[in-house]
Amino acid sequence: MLTLTGVHTHIGQYHILQGVDLVVPRGGLSVLLGRNGAGKTTTLRTIMGLWQASGGKITFDGQDITKMSTPDIARAGIAYVPESMAVFSELTVRENLYLAARSGALDTARVDWICGFFPALKKFWNYPAGNLSGGQKQMVAIARAIVEPRKLLLVDEPTKGLAPAIVQSLMAAFRELKDTDTTILLVEQNFNFVRTLGDTVSVMDDGRVVHAGSMRELAGDDELQTRLLGLSLDSHQ
Ligand SMILES: Nc1ncnc2c1ncn2[C@@H]1O[C@H](COP(=O)(O)OP(=O)(O)OP(=O)(O)O)[C@@H](O)[C@H]1O
């Protein structure tokens, strides 16, 4: 579905991504792990065209998107949920979803389906999104991204700062989403959140992917986990 080949990104004078190779297979949930500052967010922003790759190639669904504009990349079928939970605080949950619908109308059946795994959305449907808890805002942000069918969903650290109970309900929601035809690339530092959720996993360090394989292999191999997660996630174990 998505392939990055030797992708470099410079931010000002800094050489942040230094030849990222990443493959996101169609239909599954891929996880991108790595310590703070490894380059995970920069990778997502580069895929979305929010940073321009200074080298390498990004292919999405058979199309070269390396130099495409962000609106064109979104139109091609990629949705992005940034770490900052982009919701409009003053607007109600309904209005937040309505604004995210490019067709200009909400598909009631799809909204009901989304509310099936994010019940809080229905409960607070007519309340300003700014009044919701962090976890509920995260649900609104993800709902906005999938209010219309998208081929690929990029989600940056959805569990950051959330209470364990909310993390559990997010996990259940991602499990449901996995059963649809949406391909997901999830950036996480919480290995326990993704160890049973992910199909494939890539680990970044210093602007490169240093490991790529199946989540089953990583979750079942203590030595590999210690080496990779000790390398990259030591403060999160
Ligand atoms: N706008 C910017 N200007 C300069 N440097 C930046 C900018 N954005 C990111 N960086 C640097 O790029 C490197 C990678 O950052 P990035 O946010 O991609 O890492 P990350 O793996 O997502 O980390 P985290 O888990 O902390 O979000 C870091 O060293 C960071 O300081």
In three-state secondary structure terms, 130 is helix
114 and 231 belong to one structural domain? no
48 and 162 belong to one structural domain? yes
Q: How far is the CA of 118 from the centre of ligand 1 (A)?
A: 30
CB of residue 37 inside a 6 A radius of ligand 1: yes
10-residue averages of pLDDT along the chain (237 residues)? 98 96 95 92 97 97 96 94 86 94 88 87 94 88 89 91 80 83 89 90 95 94 84 45
Predicted local distance difference test score (pLDDT) of residue 234: 45
Residue 66 to residue 55: CA distance in whole angstroms? 9
Query: Which domain does 93 fall in, by range?
Result: 89-149
94 and 123 belong to one structural domain? yes
Count of domains for the chain:
2
Domain-embedded: residue 60: yes
Predicted local distance difference test score (pLDDT) of residue 237: 42
In three-state secondary structure terms, 55 is strand
ipTM of the complex, rounded to two decimals: 0.94
Tell me the angle at which helices 93-100 and 134-145 cross, rounded to the nearest 10 degrees. Answer: 30
CB of residue 16 inside a 6 A radius of ligand 1: yes
Residue 69 phi/psi, 5° resolution? -75, 160
Predicted local distance difference test score (pLDDT) of residue 127: 95
Are 170 and 81 spatial neighbours (Cβ–Cβ below 8 Å)?
no
58 and 159 belong to one structural domain? yes
Predicted local distance difference test score (pLDDT) of residue 171: 84
Predicted local distance difference test score (pLDDT) of residue 105: 87
121 and 201 belong to one structural domain? no
CB of residue 40 inside a 6 A radius of ligand 1: yes
62 and 161 belong to one structural domain? yes
- pTM value surpassing 0.80: yes
